[in-house]
Amino acid sequence: MSSNDAAPKARFLVLHDYGMGGVWWWIQARSAREILETFAWIEVVTDPETVAQQEKDGELEEVDIDAPRMPPGLDGLRATRHAQRGRQTATTATTASSKLRCRTDSRAAGQPGRRAVRRGLTSGGAG
């Protein structure tokens, strides 16, 4: 359990605007950033008038970000973000591997520039 798991959750109004309309939900989460990192194509709405109107209407579904199941629409946005993160991880690993290969090649060839390549690996690596 990370320290973030213990942080209290708050209620956030979110919108998935698909161009010709949008779908709204309330999400219980630790931060707006957590929502944006969990769901693709979601906007966290902070306009006080909009939030107040949605609270007054009381018609939106409310979900917990840690729930294993999400309502239709939101489930797909979570799956999309998960897939995007998988591609980022693979791309980052490939980039790190290429940088490592460059460093190794430079060392093997005894090139004087190897120190700069090594520095680039540590400061520009896949963090």
Residue 76 lies in a domain: no
Residue 81 lies in a domain: no
Residue 97 lies in a domain: no
Domain total of the chain? 1
Helix orientation angle between 74-109 and 114-124, rounded to the nearest 10 degrees: 160
* pLDDT tens sequence across 74-103: 999 999 999 998 876 554 444 443 333 333
pTM above 0.75, yes or no: no
User: Can you give the residue range of the structural domain that contains 10?
Assistant: 3-71
Residue 78 lies in a domain: no
* pLDDT tens sequence across 11-65: 999 999 999 999 999 999 999 999 999 999 999 999 999 999 999 999 999 999 9
Residue 53 lies in a domain: yes
* Model confidence at 126: pLDDT above 80: no
Sheet holding 22-29, edge to edge: 43-45, 10-17, 22-29, 62-64
Residue 51 lies in a domain: yes
Residue 90 lies in a domain: no
Q: What is the pLDDT of residue 4?
A: 59
Residue 80 lies in a domain: no
